Amino acid sequence: MTPDFLYGTAWKEDRTAALTELALRTGFRGIDTANQRRHYVEAAVGAGLAAAYRAGVVSRAELFLQTKFTYRAGQDHRLPYDPAADLSTQVAQSVQSSLEHLGTDYVDSYVLHGPASGHGWTDDDAEAWAAMARERDAGRVRLLGVSNVFLRHLEQLAASGAETPAFVQNRCFARFGWDRSVRAFCARHGIQYQGFSLLTANPEALRHSLVAGIAALAKVTPAQVVFRFAQAIGMLSLTGTTDAEHMRQDLASRTVVLSSDEVRTIENLA
Ligand SMILES: NC(=O)c1ccc[n+]([C@@H]2O[C@H](COP(=O)([O-])OP(=O)(O)OC[C@H]3O[C@@H](n4cnc5c(N)ncnc54)[C@H](OP(=O)(O)O)[C@@H]3O)[C@@H](O)[C@H]2O)c1
């Protein structure tokens, strides 16, 4: 089952293991990472998971683990595959490396970190996507996703006859109706939308008088109102907070009460 919050492990470097373990102790059951050393330390996420298992905090079966395949262009020199190999081989090598890093024999979700071009769904994307589907068919991956996509990527992927993803993970800007057109595509195709940078991309929403007013009345923070709003419109939120109190607050945002009018107004802030 997909949890209602994902703890993101980007940009934590030597704090990655401890923060992953802390997130699990605080109650997160979904972990997002990537086999992209430039922004993530996937092996340290695995160390954090192992520490939590050892301490009896959680078992593998209770967790939702998501990681990503990142093209050469999105990586630095620390590659999880042979750059001279074809893309299908790179995907297989990256998955194998992720499973070793995470100490597991399957991941719950495997995401194409970003398409090869901003202009559309390319032959490279089709090859990587087909290779990801083979990993799924072989049981090493349960569900597939794509990230950093525009509507045209999704439309072209669907038009190609390839299977549509189970997840779309995008940076979510309030000023674009919280990624309205991509969310609408997801709703039509039964795709679960995952939103990141909900706070950092939207300072104007956090400062907005409506959000601030709801937060003050409910004695919660504007960040909690935004996370609860995201949940109310069917989004799966990511948070990568490094702060124990923010971890608690983010999970507790589930209980913030928003009326349907408030949800609609926040959705149309831009
Ligand atoms: N697919 C992609 O290309 C992609 C790109 C970016 C991110 N991601 C994923 O998304 C995850 C989250 O990244 P993000 O861009 O959303 O940023 P983030 O890492 O979650 O950063 C949130 C920022 O807001 C601050 N903050 C203040 N109050 C907060 C609260 N109540 N709860 C949470 N944060 C609060 C945090 O500071 P404190 O640390 O002090 O709380 C932090 O500086 C990443 O770790 C990664 O897994 C994916």
Q: What's the 117 CA to ligand 1 centre distance in angstroms?
A: 25
Q: What's the 214 CA to ligand 1 centre distance in angstroms?
A: 22
Whether the per-residue pLDDT at 264 is higher than 80: the answer is yes
Mutate-to-test residue for ligand 1 from 19, 241, 254, highest number of ligand atoms within 8 A of CB:
241
Q: How far is CA 179 from CA 132, 151, 163, in A?
A: 25, 9, 22
List the residue whose alpha carbon is closest to atom 8 of ligand 1.
196
Mean pLDDT for the stretch of residues 225-248: 98
Q: What is the pLDDT of residue 190?
A: 98
Q: What is the pLDDT of residue 270?
A: 78
Mean pLDDT for the stretch of residues 151-175: 98
Give the number of other CB atoms < 10 A from CB of residue 77: 7
Mutate-to-test residue for ligand 1 from 12, 169, 227, 246, highest number of ligand atoms within 8 A of CB:
246
Cβ–Cβ under 8 Å, residues 196 and 230: no
pLDDT 10s digits, 13-63:
999 999 999 999 999 999 999 999 999 999 999 999 999 999 999 999 999
* 249 CB near ligand 1 (under 6 Å): yes
Q: What six digits make up the tokens of 34?
A: 């990537």
Of ligand 1's listed atoms, the one at least distance from the Cα of 34 is 47
Cβ–Cβ under 8 Å, residues 170 and 230: no
Q: What is the pLDDT of residue 259?
A: 96
Mutate-to-test residue for ligand 1 from 243, 253, 256, highest number of ligand atoms within 8 A of CB:
243
For strands 64-69 and 107-112, give the pairing: parallel
* 243 CB near ligand 1 (under 6 Å): yes
* 75 CB near ligand 1 (under 6 Å): no
Which residue, among 193, 184, 181, has the nearest Cα to 231 in the 3D structure?
193
Q: Is 94 helix (H, G, I), strand (E, B) or coil?
A: helix
Q: What is the pLDDT of residue 163?
A: 96
- Statement: the pTM of the whole predicted model exceeds 0.85: yes
**What gap in Å lies between CA 68 and CA 150, rounded to an integer?**
18
Whether the per-residue pLDDT at 1 is higher than 90: the answer is no
Whether the per-residue pLDDT at 161 is higher than 80: the answer is yes
List the residue whose alpha carbon is closest to atom 11 of ligand 1.
8
Which residue, among 208, 199, 261, 200, has the nearest Cα to 230 in the 3D structure?
199
* 196 CB near ligand 1 (under 6 Å): yes
